[in-house]
Structure 1
Amino acid sequence: MNLMRIMTSAALSALLLFMTACGSGSSNNNGTGAGTGSKESASSTEGAAKAGTSAAPVPIDYGLYCGKECQEALTLKASPDSIKGKVGFAVASLTFPYGAALKSRTEEAAKKYFPNMELLVGDGQNDPSVQTSIVDDFISKGVQVLIINAVEKDALVPAVERAVKAGIKVISVDRTVNTKVLTTIKANDLDLGMNAGQSLVTLLNGKGNVVELQGSPSASPTIDRHKGFTDAIAGSPDIKVIASQHANYDQAQGLKVMEDLLQRFPKGQIDAVYTHADMMTMGALQAIKAAGRQNEIKLISIDGMQTTFDAISDGEIAGTAVYPVIAPMNVIAAAKALVGEPMPEFIKLESPVVTKENVAKYNGTTY
């Protein structure tokens, strides 16, 4: 009996040892037991993620200057990640801070919102012939949409018309082109000039001598910002524009023109300066401070650069009418054009006047 129990116990022990060995061998053949199970599970999850729907598109932030009507016009019905195609962007010039900001913001928006959009960018170098060559190059490369920030409204007409004839949808931004395009997106330059002019009338209590620093002679913003300003002050006969000269949207030229004007009109003869762009304003401010006349002359500008906001906060500049950077609005319009969604012929951006009273609201919203 005892022998039987000993034999039975030995048999059971041998069987248990054999089963344990089989289990260990099976785990070793598959790799590392539980580790192998985890690896397979991770692989399955990854495959399911790849097979499933893609990550939700990033919500589009239109910014402070694209109001209700603007957002309605640019609402995209198609899914952003479904947007595919080649878009050419012809920038007027990267020399100016606005052009540089427009390029970088456009590239950022395309990458952020439309990962499958191919964006080509060309610098017109503020030269119509250079920009014409860029447009022709885009045509040869088969872009489906052309975004153009034209150097001059008339000089670029032939190139834009060639693009349209080639079946390319054209979107003009910042500056208009004197031919039919799909849509134009910008703040209204007449409004900018008008807003700046009305602000100046208030600043001077309807009376004073003003000098005007204009932009480039043939650029559409120059023409409209001048007209808007003259319309705004037309009802104030005691405000006299005693000089108006071009400084071509350039700080160095703004400095030189203002130095000449300060020589021409001695102390007490200039009450305010209106310029078509903050870059020229900065040059004018430099000349005014060097002449020690900053307490005598008030400055009203257009553009809304952050450096101008800082100068407004410091009391060196009275105000500026904001001309927003047209991104991501331009890229959204290109996306809509690629999928054939309709847009109005003109999409207007907001152009508020920023002064010391409201500058805190707009800090960090421009460039």
Structure 2
Amino acid sequence: MTRTLRGAIAVASTVALSLGVVATTTGASPGQARQDVKIGLLLPESKTTRYEKFDRPYIEQKIKELVPDAQIDYYNAAESATTQQQQVNTALAKGDQVLILDAVDAKSIQSSVEKANKAGVKIVAYDRLAQGPVDAYVSYDNRKVGELQGKALLDALGDKAESGQIVMHNGSPTDPNAAEFKAGAHSVLDGKVKIGKEYDTPNWDPNNANQQMSGAISALGKGNIVGVYSANDGLAAGIATALEAAGMNVPLTGQDAQLDAIQRILLGTQTITIEKPYKPEADIAATMAVNLAQGKPLPEDLTPTTVTSGSGQKVPATLLTPVVVDKENIKDTVVKDGLYTVQEICTPAYADACKEAGLE
């Protein structure tokens, strides 16, 4: 288990313990304190495998651990900001006291956040910081993600950094995290390598990324492209397909530690991904939501910092630290952290690559 993961779990465990303490000191029994907890969970999409495979089950599991009788209303917006606004209305109509919200569009959801706030409903911004009167926020240090990606790309390029151009795929313009990844990457890459083409990719669509990469290859010439910055693994999947079709294999970054990305890293068609362990983030969001649903203040160790949203609100927050995953540390990161088993990674198509990397 990584030091980052151990630390985040310790924070969540400390806060979980504090729930019982607060219930006792307010004169209510734990059973009384845990009645009538209603939480809405609103996730943005399912094309990225993390949301249905990890985020949703981890959040629901932690809420039920803290409050066995809690009502959890789940919604997935399928990449539609309009759908998510309608889902907020539905959650409010159902009487949810707290919404754990991962916004499709951080700006357009502001009116819904304001509506919830006026109704006395608390908002925990999850992974992406929505605009408006948000009550708490948990995510990873997204600028640090971009910095780590940029450094990994430069390290992989070596002397080639000065002899060609890179292509950048920065993700969805409606996702505030994408802007932070981009800023972090540019802070490392600018002045060190020439950026031949740079793209935003609406809705983090891998098919779009594939078309963009094919266009960049045609425009720049495949012999002039020495590396590709991809903000996440979904985009990297589309990019890798375009590179393969052009007979190219250059350093390629990613993020989210998706299973297919780990397998591409083993094959050498992707260089790194960024692991952001989902369980600590999910546990903290669930604990925040339960505290708020029960009318309790958030413990200071759960919100050690403050961030400013795009609409100017100061929001108490936890920002966790991301981890770089490459071919050398797969066993000590995603396997040790319980994200995947060796058997899940090392299917027959990847058996030789796994053996070479010591995954047996």
2:275 counterpart (314, 318, 322) = 322
Separation (CA, whole Å) in 1 of partners of 2:130 and 2:188? 25
Which one is further off, 342-351 or 94-103?
A: 94-103
Offset, 1:116: 1.7
Over 3 Å counting, the alpha-carbon distance change for 1:105 and 1:67 in structure 2 is: closer
Separation (CA, whole Å) in 1 of partners of 2:332 and 2:157? 24
Q: Which residue of 2 aligns with 1:67?
A: 8
> What is the TM-score of this pair, normalised by structure 2?
0.77
For residue 116 of structure 1, give the secondary structure of its aligned residue in structure 2.
coil
Contact kept in structure 2, 1:145 and 1:171, CA below 8 Å: yes
The one-letter code of the counterpart of 1:170 is I
Separation (CA, whole Å) in 1 of partners of 2:284 and 2:9? 13
> What is the TM-score of this pair, normalised by structure 1?
0.76
1:332 has 2:303 as partner: no
The one-letter code of the counterpart of 1:317 is Q
For residue 172 of structure 2, give the secondary structure of its aligned residue in structure 1.
coil
Offset, 1:332: 1.9
1:95 counterpart (47, 50, 53) = 47
Separation (CA, whole Å) in 2 of partners of 1:63 and 1:108? 21
The one-letter code of the counterpart of 1:246 is D
Q: Which residue of 1 aligns with 2:348?
A: none
Q: Which residue of 2 aligns with 1:190?
A: 143
The one-letter code of the counterpart of 1:89 is L
The aligned runs of 1:111-130 (5 Å cut-off) are 111-130=64-83
Offset, 1:259: 1.6
The one-letter code of the counterpart of 1:90 is L
Which one is further off, 83-92 or 339-348?
A: 339-348
Offset, 1:66: 5.4
Of all paired residues, the percent bearing the same amino acid is 22
For residue 77 of structure 1, give the secondary structure of its aligned residue in structure 2.
helix
2:201 counterpart (221, 225, 247) = 247
Contact kept in structure 1, 2:16 and 2:66, CA below 8 Å: no
Contact kept in structure 2, 1:91 and 1:148, CA below 8 Å: yes
The aligned runs of 1:11-22 (5 Å cut-off) are none
Separation (CA, whole Å) in 2 of partners of 1:225 and 1:262? 23
Over 3 Å counting, the alpha-carbon distance change for 1:203 and 1:268 in structure 2 is: same
Per-residue Cα deviation, 1:227-257 (whole angstroms, up to 9, x for no partner): 11101223xx241111111233122222222
Per-residue Cα deviation, 1:86-105 (whole angstroms, up to 9, x for no partner): 00111112333133232233
Separation (CA, whole Å) in 1 of partners of 2:16 and 2:172? 34
Contact kept in structure 2, 1:277 and 1:302, CA below 8 Å: yes
Over 3 Å counting, the alpha-carbon distance change for 1:267 and 1:94 in structure 2 is: closer
Over 3 Å counting, the alpha-carbon distance change for 1:227 and 1:63 in structure 2 is: closer
The one-letter code of the counterpart of 2:329 is N
Q: Which residue of 2 aligns with 1:277?
A: 232
Per-residue Cα deviation, 1:283-309 (whole angstroms, up to 9, x for no partner): 111111122111xx1111122112212
For residue 87 of structure 1, give the secondary structure of its aligned residue in structure 2.
strand
Separation (CA, whole Å) in 2 of partners of 1:219 and 1:342? 26
Separation (CA, whole Å) in 1 of partners of 2:6 and 2:133? 25
1:77 counterpart (9, 13, 18) = 18
The one-letter code of the counterpart of 1:136 is N
The one-letter code of the counterpart of 1:264 is A
RMSD, aligned CA: 2.4
Separation (CA, whole Å) in 2 of partners of 1:103 and 1:229? 29
1:177 counterpart (130, 134, 144) = 130
The aligned runs of 1:35-50 (5 Å cut-off) are none
Separation (CA, whole Å) in 2 of partners of 1:173 and 1:72? 19
Q: Which residue of 1 aligns with 2:345?
A: none
Structure 2 spans left out of the alignment, 5+ residues: 21-29, 304-315, 341-360
Q: Which residue of 2 aligns with 1:3?
A: none
**Structure 1 segments of 4 or more deviating over 4 A?**
none
The one-letter code of the counterpart of 2:176 is S
Offset, 1:221: 1.5
The one-letter code of the counterpart of 1:244 is E
Q: Which residue of 2 aligns with 1:221?
A: 177
The one-letter code of the counterpart of 1:64 is L
Over 3 Å counting, the alpha-carbon distance change for 1:166 and 1:284 in structure 2 is: same
Q: Which residue of 1 aligns with 2:248?
A: 293
Contact kept in structure 1, 2:275 and 2:334, CA below 8 Å: no
Q: Which residue of 2 aligns with 1:33?
A: none
The one-letter code of the counterpart of 1:276 is A
The one-letter code of the counterpart of 1:77 is S
1:351 has 2:350 as partner: no
For residue 158 of structure 2, give the secondary structure of its aligned residue in structure 1.
coil
Offset, 1:184: 0.5
Q: Which residue of 2 aligns with 1:210?
A: 166
Offset, 1:181: 1.5
Contact kept in structure 2, 1:73 and 1:347, CA below 8 Å: no
Contact kept in structure 2, 1:65 and 1:324, CA below 8 Å: no
Aligned residues: 302
Separation (CA, whole Å) in 1 of partners of 2:11 and 2:168? 31
Separation (CA, whole Å) in 1 of partners of 2:4 and 2:149? 22
The aligned runs of 1:19-38 (5 Å cut-off) are none
1:163 has 2:116 as partner: yes
